[in-house]
Amino acid sequence: MLAMDLRIKGMEAKKRSVGVARVRWWNLTKENMFKLSEKIKSEASWKVVDDANAMREGMAQCICRSTKEVLGISRGGGAGRKSGAWWWNEKVKEKVKEKHKAYTDLCNCTLEEEKEVKVAMDKAANKLAKEVVIIAKNNAFERLY
């Protein structure tokens, strides 16, 4: 018997992309907003120049440099991190932990009478965690916009 190697064209393994440097816009709080505006006002050259493209390019470079210094940059691509978890606060973490505990209690339950109570506790914990997550997300996105 012959052993054959089969390769399908175009099905190469994907290479893991290296994180691209991005500005940490989620750090834009009220304090950082004031720092950023002051930094841009002090560093920018507000002179009117004949060439509008050169003036725009200078301002764009100043704004990019200032935002990177004040807010920081992120390399991204962190394996194992929850995507979109930047808006989590202590209350969300606490409620999610309670939700997980209620679920594990339900899974470890063996008696039928206890199981009904644990199901109700699990549903209540899920509902409460969802409400806290919605509130935290809304607050976080309100700060951004």
- How confident is the model over 30-65, as pLDDT tens digits? 888 999 889 888 887 777 778 888 888 888 888 889
122's tokens: 């699990």
Q: How far apart are CA 22 and CA 106, in angstroms?
A: 42
pLDDT band, very low/low/confident/very high, at 96 (cuts 50, 70, 90)? very high
Claim: this prediction has a pTM higher than 0.85: no
% residues pLDDT > 90 (the chain) = 25
